[in-house]
């Protein structure tokens, strides 16, 4: 049995205020084949098209330019003019950035759009305090818990290691007696292979 929860998460695309560049490098944490990296490429293509080639964004997937946890700071400090990052990964700095991580609150893309419409101004105000701005937001597909064994209750989840990627998933795992482990997406395959 799979315990399922739908948690929509927005990807954070940020640009340092006032950054001027013709060729921008855009670090992303996920593999090139990941939905969010693919959307980053679509975004870069649209920017190139809409500016007539005056702004050319190169997407660097898989944490190849900066690891996931380093992307926000890289943009804030001007090491990268733009970057894409899971907003909720920074709820330890600002709880409002987890606006979409309440399980079962937004269980469809339409619900997530409504939630973003309500949260957008407040989220952008908090990001502006950090010299950042949201350029686009895209939801995650529905997510769930997957186990190697049958799970019928929280008794069956006690002591199971669980990959958490933000405060909300870590708390959810802890409440079910699991052990949350922080692993960046780019390092997930290796972490699973080594246990």
- Can you give 20-37 as a three-state secondary structure string? CCCEEEEECCCCCCCHHH
The predicted structure's pLDDT at residue 195: 67
Q: Is a pLDDT exceeding 80 seen at residue 20?
A: no
CA distance 193 to 70: 24
Asked whether the predicted pLDDT for residue 10 surpasses 50, the reply is no
DSSP of 105-159: T--SHHHHHHHHHHHHHHHHHHHHTTT--B----PPPPEE---SS---SGGGGTT
DSSP labels for 27-85? E-SS-TTSHHHHHHHHHHHHHHHHTTTSSEEEEE-TTSSS-HHHHHHHHHTTSSSEEEE
Tell me the pLDDT tens digit for each residue of 100-131: 777 778 888 899 899 999 999 999 999 999 98
pTM value surpassing 0.85: no
pLDDT tier for residue 1 given thresholds of 50, 70 and 90:
very low
**Residue 181 and residue 128: Cα distance in Å, rounded?**
31
Q: Which two tokens stand for residue 99?
A: 């606006």
Amino acid 121: pLDDT: 96
């Amino acid at each position: 049995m799979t315990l399922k929860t739908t948690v929509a998460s927005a990807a954070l695309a940020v640009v340092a205020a006032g950054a001027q560049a013709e060729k921008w490098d855009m670090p992303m944490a996920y593999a090139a084949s990941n939905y969010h990296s693919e959307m980053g490429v679509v975004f870069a293509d649209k920017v190139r098209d809409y500016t007539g080639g005056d702004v050319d964004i190169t997407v660097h997937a898989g944490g190849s330019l900066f690891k996931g946890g380093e992307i926000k700071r890289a943009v804030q400090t001007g090491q990268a003019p733009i970057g894409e990052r899971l907003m909720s990964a920074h709820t330890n700095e600002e709880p409002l950035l987890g606006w979409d991580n309440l399980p079962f609150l937004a269980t469809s893309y339409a619900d997530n759009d409504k939630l973003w419409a309500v949260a957008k101004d407040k989220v952008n105000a908090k990001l502006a305090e950090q010299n950042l701005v949201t350029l686009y937001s895209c939801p995650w597909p529905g997510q769930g818990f997957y186990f190697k064994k049958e799970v019928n209750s929280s008794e069956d989840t006690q002591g199971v290691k669980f990959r958490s990627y933000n405060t909300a998933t870590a708390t959810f795992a802890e409440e079910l007696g699991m052990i949350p482990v922080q692993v960046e997406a780019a390092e997930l395959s290796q972490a699973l292979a080594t246990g």
